[in-house]
Amino acid sequence: MIDLKQLDKLFQRQPGSSLLGLSFDGSRLEGVLVRRTNGSVEIKKTFTASLSLDPLTAEVELVGREIRNQLDAADIRERWCAVGLPLNWALTLTVKLPEIPEEAVADFLQIEAERGFPYGPDELMLAHSRFTAGGGHFATLVGIPREHVTRLEAVLAAAQLRPVTFSLGLTALQRPDAESGDGTLALLPGETSVAMQISCGGGMVNLRALDGAFEQVGAGRELQTDHIARELRITLGQLPAEVREAMKRVRVFGRSEVATQLAEELRGAAQDWGLKIEHVREHAAEEFGVKIPTGTAVSAALSVAVRRLTAQAGMEFLPPKISPWKQFSQRYSSGKLGYAGAGAGAVAAIVLLAFLIQQIVLWHWESKWSHMAKPVAELTQMRDQIRRYRPWYDESVRTLSILKRVTESFPEDGAVSAKTIELREPSRVTCSGTARNREAFNRALDKLRGVREISDVHVEMSRGTTTVEFTFNFQWGGPAGL
């Protein structure tokens, strides 16, 4: 019998030996194309770019097109990508684990996340890291708003990219689970903030972005080391005593001038805290379990990509993709498959029968139509002729009705006479003529205003005293019988 789960793995596409690493930090985008060959990793291409559009607020298609243009400029065609998310998207919460069975830990952490985060259970992508301190067990929960993740997925799709992982760059640079004894405070300067991670006891103790790390000075920016040192001192002071005593070093990642300045200016403060400063400029050759080129500059994008290629699990925020085969295999076991097949066959037969009945009905009415098509065409032609010439016929005898009412309004002795009567619009009538005197003309107008079908009588022109020439118009309100 066919194992549907194995069949799902067969059809599910996965990245090959090459992968594109991307790291988002504010408007800065870093990319590294890597390829794994025989126990080593080759760095094929690298690039950095400044995005003019914000992936969270700008039009998805426009952001995707901008990223695609940057990739094309770097001559990168790889579609599979591993993505490092901005740390300022992350929310963190540390909880103490009670003595409960291991299988109940996930449910406990979910409940704590619902209590501690200002989001509903379906509005966050959650990951966690567990550590021990003072004989107790703790977990640090990290949540990314699902809306951010979904939007970034859409942006990458618009850029013709397929993500295989969403992680955090600093957690890939400094693996929290690598520190089982001595504690480490890791710092990674970014575009607008400094990412900070404290790891100890086999996991992550604290993770945050230190805002206010830079101050704009003219066209440049100035590192606020005193502010950073104050934030670090407060953070260290809030740690449990066992964790604080285990802290031994501060690691500053990066080759940039800002990273060098931060490492140098924090050296004195670190000594006061009893910590040793390490400035990490390059990746160790065997850092990821595979060989990488000597002298490779530290990179969040590279770390995320290589750890994915080497199957090193980390924090994952990419929503799981359930393939149709997996959905089918989960829904139907081998015992239910026969019933499902029979049901599908019955549904197919009903659908075919419905189509057959529909076709028979269509044939019947097509036969009816073929017999009546010619008379219908003749009637249609007659109807079109009637519509064409209908305006020439007026069953209401409107013109005669108007003339009758005007004639009745004028005196019988001929004191007022009309020269022209013009229908300028369907309901607007203009009359021009002469009157022997103005009194006779005014009496005719008054009588005309009293007619039920006539309204809005307006004198356009009247001149003369003994003989009055006039022009007036009125609105005809409806036909009248003769």
Q: CATH number for the domain including 464? A: 3.30.1360.100
Q: Which residue has the tokens 């002071």?
A: 237
Lowest-confidence region among 61-65, 81-85, 381-385, 394-398? 394-398
Answer yes or no: is 1 within a domain.
no
What pLDDT shows up at residue 334?
Answer: 52
* Overall average pLDDT of the 375-379 stretch: 87
- State pLDDT tens for residues 157-186: 999 999 999 999 999 988 887 755 688 999
Given phi > 0 = left and psi -120 to 50 = alpha, else beta, which region is 218? left
Alpha-carbon gap, residue 85 to 91, rounded angstroms: 12
What pLDDT shows up at residue 28?
Answer: 93
Kind plus residue range of the DSSP H or E element containing 137? strand 136-145
What pLDDT shows up at residue 343?
Answer: 80
Confidence of residue 370 (pLDDT cuts 50, 70, 90): confident
- State pLDDT tens for residues 414-424: 889 999 998 87
Task: Identify whether residues 357 and 458 lie together within a single domain.
Answer: no
Answer yes or no: is 2 within a domain.
no
Answer yes or no: is 6 within a domain.
no
Confidence of residue 78 (pLDDT cuts 50, 70, 90): very high
Alpha-carbon gap, residue 426 to 429, rounded angstroms: 8
Structural domain total, the chain: 3
SS3 label, residue 161? coil
What pLDDT shows up at residue 332?
Answer: 55
Answer yes or no: is 482 within a domain.
no
Task: Identify whether residues 166 and 89 lie together within a single domain.
Answer: yes
SS3 label, residue 436? coil
- State pLDDT tens for residues 299-324: 999 999 998 988 887 889 998 876 65
pLDDT greater than 80 at residue 390 = no
* Overall average pLDDT of the 242-249 stretch: 89
Task: Identify whether residues 306 and 342 lie together within a single domain.
Answer: no
Task: Identify whether residues 414 and 315 lie together within a single domain.
Answer: no
Listed in sequence order, the residues at least 6 apart from 334 whose beta carbon sits closer than 8 Å to its beta carbon are 1
Task: Identify whether residues 342 and 366 lie together within a single domain.
Answer: yes
pLDDT greater than 60 at residue 9 = no
Q: In CATH, what number is assigned to the domain containing residue 243?
A: 3.30.420.380
Alpha-carbon gap, residue 221 to 227, rounded angstroms: 14
Task: Identify whether residues 258 and 384 lie together within a single domain.
Answer: no
Mean pLDDT, the chain, whole residue set: 86
Task: Identify whether residues 51 and 172 lie together within a single domain.
Answer: yes
Answer yes or no: is 354 within a domain.
yes
Alpha-carbon gap, residue 476 to 401, rounded angstroms: 10
Task: Identify whether residues 444 and 307 lie together within a single domain.
Answer: no
Task: Identify whether residues 342 and 322 lie together within a single domain.
Answer: no
Tokens standing for residue 290: 């595979």
What pLDDT shows up at residue 464?
Answer: 83
Of 52, 54, 46, which Cα lies nearest the Cα of 21? Answer: 46
Task: Identify whether residues 189 and 97 lie together within a single domain.
Answer: yes
Task: Identify whether residues 108 and 248 lie together within a single domain.
Answer: yes
Confidence of residue 2 (pLDDT cuts 50, 70, 90): very low
pLDDT greater than 60 at residue 210 = yes
C-alpha distances in angstroms, 360 versus 356, 365, 366, 380?
A: 6, 9, 10, 28
Domain boundary (373, 390, 407) is at 390
pLDDT greater than 90 at residue 345 = no
What pLDDT shows up at residue 393?
Answer: 61
Tokens standing for residue 61: 């298609």
Of 460, 114, 72, 129, which Cα lies nearest the Cα of 316? Answer: 129
Task: Identify whether residues 432 and 466 lie together within a single domain.
Answer: yes
pLDDT greater than 80 at residue 58 = yes
**Domain span holding position 438:** 398-476
- How much of the chain, in percent, has pLDDT values that exceed 90? 49
What pLDDT shows up at residue 151?
Answer: 95
Tokens standing for residue 285: 């050759």
What pLDDT shows up at residue 350?
Answer: 92
Tokens standing for residue 184: 């480490």
Q: Which residue has the tokens 């990179």?
A: 299
What pLDDT shows up at residue 384?
Answer: 85
Contact 181, 40 (CB under 8 A): no
